[in-house]
Chain A
């Protein structure tokens, strides 16, 4: 006959197996908590990383765009939704006269097509290497030098088949490098110098892009990125720009960050409150169920005492039961959260509309360990009162109570 030693944990396991529905329900409660804790923490860390990345990558304090295109500019930066708009380059001269501007640089936006002429439909951003202060530092970080004319550099979400070339308007362009992930719309954009962009523009025009009528990159631009001079108030500079220019809209990048930060703050606050409530509810449920269970099993514990079990042994049986529940629930919840969060991270980021960068492996391991520690200790904490109560009760009285 196959028989295991009846150790405390074996007795606990047999008890749990016999009460399968109750065991399943308790494991489910802990699993839900672990799922929320692990998944929620990874998500909030990812959004925080995304925010930091936006702060680091925007570079400019202000972006001047044609009137009515402010939202489109925000979409390009935040979600990578391809867009184009143009105004005359003369605006640069006017802006150069504005007091309080330290640096300014122009950009030209183009969009590619989803048809056979292009590898994929993306935002193409042309920048002026001579004046750029926003994209080049980032490119230098990745490439270790400047981007040469004729080549492009792509955002981290752009998939390139052979990793070397990308096709736009039936012409292959060498891909100099892929930029690090930012969790913003910039991950879905392609960057090129103005010289390269002019070539792209010609290609697009040859393909019959009728929206490119009279929008020659020599005469037109899409946006002007502005760095405010140190010591100047941004609001004052905005007023100065408005005084000097007409038909423009000014996007304040800090507002973008503040918007993201506010949305992120709301999400994180909601998550923290939700996690705390869930933790409290789980602890109460487990404590009540373990207490009720210990109460209804008074006779069982009295019998064990009569047979020679020490008080410690009774407590150990209860603690092992709670530990089995905690460990199973914690492991199941965390695994399910990992299955949900990691493969669908891009989808989650896009759905919530916030920049999303997953934490490093070390951070993920730390979050995992933290979640498991909380989940694993829940059961023993919840059953501690019952364990003490059971081990202190008078055997004979509990035997009579249990009848």
Chain B
């Protein structure tokens, strides 16, 4: 199993009262799986993704990726693990504005010690997401759809085993949403597990597994 989430909880104190953003979540994914989690705003989807990505610490439970309990890792090890195993597409525009498209895609390669032909890989990814002609452009000159493709290419740079995407079609038109979701399907078909959270119900038919998040609890969604 590539991803194993068990009894995962995240509790916050809100207005002096405990509040569970994520409560006892269990989730398993194999390589090449494409899972979509739907839910209303504030249901805990992003928090769950951040817990799986090791960006925040859980109150309880475990996250294991490719057999590694990420909670046991120290910050430095976790950074290295995230860099190697997880591709993360944050919500909104998350491109570094001072770097070109090409450099944005290459960036994950240089954040940890790594070998390989980074330039060839970056160009090939840009071709894969259909924006190779924009390699030298800067983010401020790109459309929303193009920016999203850059973040996808960047997330795939280090050949991650798990791709996490937070509302990747949030601000895209129908045609671009279709193209982006098609890209995720292709990525999953190539063997990378894709976990996507969204409140856009029009995208759920792309997922092999669909879950619903409600008040921090995760359950299977009946399509």
User: CA–CA, A268 to B94, complex, Å?
Assistant: 53
| Known contacts A309-B79, A396-B56, A5 near B135 by CB under 8 Å | no
| Known contacts A14-B103, A305-B79, A5 near B110 by CB under 8 Å | yes
> How would residues 1 to 29 of chain A score, 1 for a CB under 8 Å from any chain B CB and 0 otherwise?
10101110001001101110000000000
| Known contacts A6-B110, A14-B103, A313-B111, A308 near B79 by CB under 8 Å | yes
Residue A307, interface by CB 8 Å: yes
Give the residue of A17, A19, A309, A403 whose beta carbon is less than 8 angstroms from that of B92. A403
Contacts of A255 in B (CB 8 A): none
CB proximity of A232 to chain B, nearest CB, Å: 77
* Interface locus among A80-88, A193-201, A296-304, A357-365: A296-304
Interface centre among A19, A304, A395 (most CB of B within 10 A): A395
| Known contacts A306-B90, A308-B111, A6 near B96 by CB under 8 Å | no
Beta-carbon contact of A307 and B55 below 8 Å: no
Contacts of B82 in A (CB 8 A): 306-308
Contacts of B99 in A (CB 8 A): 6, 11, 14
Residue B123, interface by CB 8 Å: yes
Q: How many A-B residue pairs have CB under 8 A?
A: 85
Residue B108, interface by CB 8 Å: yes
> How would residues 101 to 119 of chain B score, 1 for a CB under 8 Å from any chain A CB and 0 otherwise?
0110011111110000011
Beta-carbon contact of A396 and B55 below 8 Å: yes
Q: Which residues of chain A from 317 to 351 have any CB-CB distance to chain B below 8 Å in the complex?
A: none
Q: Which residues of chain B from 106 to 140 have any CB-CB distance to chain A below 8 Å in the complex?
A: 106-112, 118-119, 123, 135-136
Contacts of B95 in A (CB 8 A): 303
User: CA–CA, A300 to B53, complex, Å?
Assistant: 18
Beta-carbon contact of B119 and A1 below 8 Å: yes
Beta-carbon contact of A307 and B154 below 8 Å: yes
Beta-carbon contact of A308 and B103 below 8 Å: no
Contacts of A310 in B (CB 8 A): 75-76, 79-80, 111
Beta-carbon contact of B111 and A15 below 8 Å: no
Beta-carbon contact of A18 and B97 below 8 Å: yes
Contacts of B55 in A (CB 8 A): 305-306, 395-396
Beta-carbon contact of A308 and B84 below 8 Å: yes
Which of under 10, 10 to 19, 20 to 34, or 35 or more describes the interface residues of A? 20 to 34
Beta-carbon contact of A308 and B97 below 8 Å: no
User: CA–CA, A317 to B111, complex, Å?
Assistant: 11
User: CA–CA, A300 to B92, complex, Å?
Assistant: 13
Residue B223, interface by CB 8 Å: no
Give the residue of B94, B106, B111 whose beta carbon is less than 8 angstroms from that of A3. B106
Beta-carbon contact of B79 and A300 below 8 Å: no
User: CA–CA, A5 to B75, complex, Å?
Assistant: 24
Contacts of A303 in B (CB 8 A): 90, 94-96
CB proximity of B102 to chain A, nearest CB, Å: 7
Residue A181, interface by CB 8 Å: no
Residue B185, interface by CB 8 Å: no
Give the residue of B56, B83, B92 whose beta carbon is less than 8 angstroms from that of A308. B83
Contacts of A3 in B (CB 8 A): 102-103, 106, 118-119
> How would residues 75 to 93 of chain B score, 1 for a CB under 8 Å from any chain A CB and 0 otherwise?
1100110111000101010
Contacts of B75 in A (CB 8 A): 310-311
CB proximity of A297 to chain B, nearest CB, Å: 9
CB proximity of B107 to chain A, nearest CB, Å: 6
Give the residue of B88, B102, B135, B136 whose beta carbon is less than 8 angstroms from that of A307. B88
Residue A394, interface by CB 8 Å: yes
Residue A381, interface by CB 8 Å: no
Residue A294, interface by CB 8 Å: no
Beta-carbon contact of A299 and B94 below 8 Å: yes
Beta-carbon contact of A18 and B98 below 8 Å: yes
Residue A374, interface by CB 8 Å: no
Residue B176, interface by CB 8 Å: no
User: CA–CA, A3 to B107, complex, Å?
Assistant: 12
**Which A residue's beta carbon lies closest to that of B94?**
A303
Contacts of B102 in A (CB 8 A): 1, 3
Residue B215, interface by CB 8 Å: no
**Which A residue's beta carbon lies closest to that of B83?**
A308
CB proximity of A76 to chain B, nearest CB, Å: 64
Residue A92, interface by CB 8 Å: no
CB proximity of B10 to chain A, nearest CB, Å: 10
Beta-carbon contact of B50 and A308 below 8 Å: no
Residue A399, interface by CB 8 Å: yes
Contacts of B118 in A (CB 8 A): 3
**Which B residue's beta carbon lies closest to that of A10?**
B110
Contacts of B76 in A (CB 8 A): 310, 312
Beta-carbon contact of B97 and A6 below 8 Å: no
* Beyond A306-B53, A307-B154, A308-B84, 14 additional pairs, beta carbon < 8 A: A3-B106, A5-B110, A6-B107, A6-B110, A15-B98, A304-B107, A305-B79, A306-B94, A307-B83, A308-B83, A309-B79, A310-B111, A312-B76, A396-B56
- Chain B positions near chain A (C-beta within 8 angstroms): 50, 53, 55-56, 75-76, 79-80, 82-84, 88, 90, 92, 94-99, 102-103, 106-112, 118-119, 123, 135-136, 154, 158
A-B contact pairs, 7 of them (CB 8 A): A6-B109, A17-B98, A300-B98, A302-B90, A306-B55, A306-B82, A395-B55
